[in-house]
Amino acid sequence: MLAGMSRRPLTTPRKHASQERSRATVDALVEATARLLVREGFDKASTNRIAQEAGVSVGSLYQYYPSKEALVAAVIDRHNGELMQVVRAALVEVASLPIEKALRRLVATAIDAHRVDPKLHRVLAEQIPRTGRLEKIATFNREYFVLFRDFLESHRGELRAVDLELATFVCVTSIEALTHTAVLHRSEMLSDERAATLVDEATRLMVRYLR
């Protein structure tokens, strides 16, 4: 290693919790990390502070996670897993609805999911490159694309003649860009007063594009 080069922090858990007590410890550590990231930011969320917040010893923390970055990566993985569950459930729920009602529900679901804890979402978005989670985000996006394309395929009779791969890219990217930009830079768009209007406008955008 060249002098002066910093080592890349380890972000893979040391071991996976199998017993109920171990899972409870891991859950407590991940939840404590999320709380501290929101309250104090990445730089102040040391492993000592995380262990203290979780009510476990630092030794116990290091049994499962080799670094603070590994804990942040675990928070990112959990957050993305929860978002993917929401996406899957929403697509199943709207499968039989007319395209306009279905898209409105999907957009509303995406916006509502990002309204739950926008500050955590902002912090995690900043930390994704540091924790090497870009590959997992790409996997998440691929599944989202496949599910959305299947949704469009099932509604093809309501659409104009359009390349479904391209239409999927346009729609999914539009939803993601709107929700992420609102969370990261325009939080007022997620207020109770503005969120409903944002859903209306995003739905109109996609319905007119697809028809």
Residues 79 and 52 in one domain: no
Looking at the predicted structure, is the pLDDT value of residue 129 above 70?
no
For 104, the token pair is 């409105």
| 86 shares a domain with 64 | no
Residue 10 lies in a domain: no
SS3 of residue 42 by DSSP: coil
Q: Do 206 and 127 sit in the same domain of this protein?
A: yes
Do residue 103 and residue 206 come from a single domain? yes
pLDDT in tens, 130-158: 666 666 667 777 888 898 999 999 999 89
Check pLDDT > 50 for residue 2: no
CB of 11 within 8 A of CB of 71? no
Same domain, 64 and 80: no
pLDDT digits (tens, 9 = 90+) for 67-88: 888 898 888 888 888 888 888 8
Which domain covers residue 155, as residue numbers? 75-210
pTM confidence score = 0.72
pLDDT of residue 132: 65
Last residue of a domain, one of 68, 101, 129: 68
Q: Which residues contact 59 (CB under 8 A, 6 or more apart)?
A: none
- Total of domains in the chain: 2
